[in-house]
Structure 1
């Protein structure tokens, strides 16, 4: 044997080690997952409407946070939330500047941080229990949305997974359990995708406890997980939807438009009123000429008359002129003085009948904080002087928006109220037969309007009722009980659309159950957190022994 052969082999310290770039990418992998989750969610929502990316976003979020420390999960959740909400809610900065937008995005991202921390915390529960990824991920996502939709100041439910599923088979779940069930189903598919990926490749798993499986087991379990995801989608299609029925009524939406977009739309209030009156008079002329069927009822949007017709005879005369000409009652979006506090104003849906004038009215129950009233005004003024554009705070109403409008009882909600499950449901169970959403998008953009219309689509399926959205500037349109949109108008354009809708007193399972499914999912999320805590305690005890 030669000396060379006898010499002990020298161990190459770099042998078998990943390339430095590869090591860097591996360290950044959770962050890349979080960014990918945000981007997928952004494109799932209007105006992009790639609904199938919502489960992908959920899956990437789960991959980012699984196996991390709670603090790391929170940081990754905040990153994902900041990017997602920063883009989704960019319309909030158009008129009021960047600082309020930054604060709102930061608040919403904070809830995503809590979800990230929770997702990381439950990781020990999912070790050797890959099948739990789906329901646990879905329950945690529903819990996050429930919190975000309630606190602070009544919450801000924008960006719920359910509102991205307008064209998805999963929208059908709205008829059985409302927005919470649609969110749960969407996140469930995402969680099952993660489970499938981990079953096949182990991607994203950072634990020594995973037991290798035989290839046959991998295939068998993978088939089961893929089948479960497919079954969820098929089940969404199988949920019975309300078929058109009841009495047919002809409804007209008048989108009068505004002279210019912006926060100063109040200073254009006479021009905005005249736009809606003139558009209705033109509709009446077309009806008299036999070009358009005569509507049984007409809906004007929020802020169509910011001159209170109950206190201003000139505004009352103009609205009466329009109602008399069309020969049908008009639901007018207007402002008024709060009955119990003359220092405050109210946002009103006012019935205006031909010949007899004002009828019943609905007062908006959920004024928007920092837009229609300013909490902590002196402190908020230090952030932006735009708060002083809200010169007088709005007072909330105290009853659901059920109004008799000609032959139909309208379930009226105003603007952002359509995002709140309870407010819409209250209008339906209190007797509303047709969901009407009056809104004013003049201070935002078309993306915000389309996001709002997506909420109307879900509400129509949820309660099995035809619905409509009437906007000053667009997007206005009709939605049937299957969530299909008809007659959608262009943005920043004057338009009148007329369609036959159906009024019905039938109630879906979702209407009857109310918040029950959401509470069930919240209980499931809390149970998962408790189970994870017990596993962590047991593991710590075993390590100490």
Structure 2
């Protein structure tokens, strides 16, 4: 009897289906994704890298198991958020910075998981790549902007587009629509570049038709450059002269609060110099002067010396001053971060006062303080900042200002509420003395987006910089340096067209989130059919 050699194993569709990128390649793609997303944001400003970062992360996670896909997204998030949020260490130390970065990176981990989950849909209908990634990124940011403890919307794709053409889309659907367009462009790029990795026993690679590749290339180009054709809102014709005063601080760092009288004196002195310039005819008479957040860290409603200094400045400049100040309360440890209109001759107008509505958790107040105290007693070093209960609409007589304080510019609804309330211009009062120039540049990018989103000219005024004026197309008219004193005066155009984004509010974002959830649910039947194939492919 002759023994026959065993037959060679047959290559079947079961063990030779499309595979994810090799394991050794996927982490490299994830790291590159985080790096490109970081470089797209200020202070680097390489806005065109955002779609590339989206595409790299999608390529790394496509067709992977869910747990590795989460890990790849988390890895990309760490590469993005650890350096992006480094400025938080100056105010809060390394532990809050690390915890915040880890929490933000976890959202990109969930995004990676969701991208892997939707792989069957993208494989079956390749043209869905742009739509799916646009929806997933918009939904991820919607969640990250709200939770936990009110969310922290730093590092959104939309905030990388201050110099990009997609910024114009903010007038139609706000920051969520800008994010959708950038992520969709990344989806077109990955659809163009993706190849199904297959075992070496697979039949030789055949040339792909040129038509689909050309179509996806055109889609990517349209999503990146097409928004240039979208018109932006035109501001009103009436103008008012507005001055911003960047008084600077004695030195950077937390200890500047111990020198709060010097900070107040710097802003008073700078305003006095402006008054002298106006009196000499070398500068225009402002209708309103805006000082930054914490320009008077001394409560002028309780300290007569501080009140006298501010009143003297207002009298000399002959215009109301919007003063950023900290108000003490009758409860020890409780404070309010406020903007108060201070009129020449009559002093503070308490009816024109805005109290910050969205204090920053663990920096301006401590959630679950009793529980947090069990971990460290340093939580008691953080004062309890009370939240305001109404939008920051300040009527100075000559101009109605939409006042937004510091990090609030990152939150869609806080800014929109001021425009709905009648704001003719937007003013962002901020204090960057406890951070660095990178954080200031990131905030300015948000101010530029808000000006486009709501069709209102805007300004940002900081204690140390960067202070600037922005137009309704996102252009920067004037910009100060960092860690210097500066005074800038400009005729701002008041009011303007109410944009579609202002009218729609959060509905575009909610619609995109709902569609993302439907897509995740719709992938379930396809995943059940392909689960065995995917598990075998990933195990090889």
Q: TM-score, normalised by structure 1?
A: 0.90
Residue 251 of structure 2 aligns to a residue whose secondary structure is coil
- 1:185 is aligned to 181
| Residue 80 of structure 2: aligned partner | 84
CA distance in 2, matches of 1:400, 1:91: 28
**Residue 264 (1) aligns with residue 255 (2):** yes
Most deviating of 108-117 and 533-542: 533-542
The CA deviation at 1:472 is 0.3
Residues 382/491 of structure 1: CA separation in 2 closer, same or farther (3 Å cut): farther
Instruction: Quickly say closer, same or farther: Cα 1:206–1:258, change in 2 above 3 A.
Output: farther
Q: Does 1:389 align with 2:385?
A: no
Question: Could you list the runs of 5+ residues in structure 2 that have no partner in the other structure?
Answer: 1-20, 535-540
Among 166, 172, 177, the residue aligned to 2:168: 172
Measure the CA separation in 1 of the matches of 2:198 and 2:436.
43
* C-alpha distance 84-520 of structure 1, shift in aligned 2 (>3 A): same
What is aligned with 1:160? 156
Residue by residue over 1:220-248, the C-alpha shift from the partner in whole angstroms, topping out at 9 and shown as x without a partner, is: 11111111122223431122102243311
- In structure 2, what is the Cα distance between the partners aligned to 1:304 and 1:387? 25
Pairwise mapping of residues 49-128 of structure 1 onto structure 2 (< 5 A)?
49-128=45-124
Deviates more, 1:121-130 or 1:152-161: 121-130
Distance in 2 (CA, whole Å) between partners of 1:386 and 1:442 is 22
Kept after mapping to 2: 8 A contact 1:136/1:524: no
SS of structure 2 residue aligned to 1:28: coil
Distance 2:340 2:463 in 1: 16
CA 1:189–1:316 in 2, change beyond 3 Å: closer, same or farther? same
Cα–Cα, structure 1 residues 499 and 85, in superposed 2: closer, same or farther, change >3 Å? Answer: same
Which residue number in structure 1 is paired with residue 9 of structure 2?
none
Q: 1:303 aligns with which of 294, 318, 323?
A: 294
Could you tell me which residue of structure 1 aligns to residue 334 of structure 2? 344
- The total of aligned residue pairs comes to 513
CA distance in 2, matches of 1:542, 1:452: 47
CA distance in 2, matches of 1:505, 1:486: 18
Q: What's the counterpart of residue 20 of structure 1?
A: none
2:512 counterpart of 1:521: yes
The 8 Å contact of residues 67 and 206 in structure 1, kept in 2 or not, is answered as: no
Hey, what does 1:44 align to over in structure 2? 40
Structure 1 ranges of 4+ moved more than 6 A: 210-214
Deviations 1:25-60 (A, max 9, x none): 943101000000011011101111000001000000
CA contact (8 A) 1:99 1:384 kept: no
Task: Write out per-residue CA displacement over residues 68-126 of structure 1, whole angstroms, 9 at most, x where no aligned residue.
Answer: 00101000011000110001101111243211111001100111111111111111111
Which residue is equivalent to 1:291? Answer: 282
Residue of structure 2 in register with 1:474 after alignment: 465
Q: Specify the SS of the correspondent of 2:163.
A: coil
Q: Which one of 298, 317, 332 corresponds to residue 323 of structure 2? A: 332
1:383 Cα shift? 5.9
Pairing of 1:457-536 with structure 2 (within 5 A):
457-536=448-527
Q: CA deviation at 1:67?
A: 0.6
Match among 29, 38, 45 for residue 33 of structure 1: 29
- What secondary structure is seen at the aligned counterpart in 2 of 1:184? helix
Q: Deviation of residue 267 (structure 1)?
A: 1.3
Q: Deviations over 1:420-450 (max 9, x none)?
A: 0000000111111100000000110000000
**Superposition RMSD on alpha carbons, in Å?**
2.4
Find the residue that maps to 1:527 and give its secondary structure. Answer: helix
Per the TM alignment, residue 379 of structure 1 is displaced from its structure 2 partner at its CA by 4.6
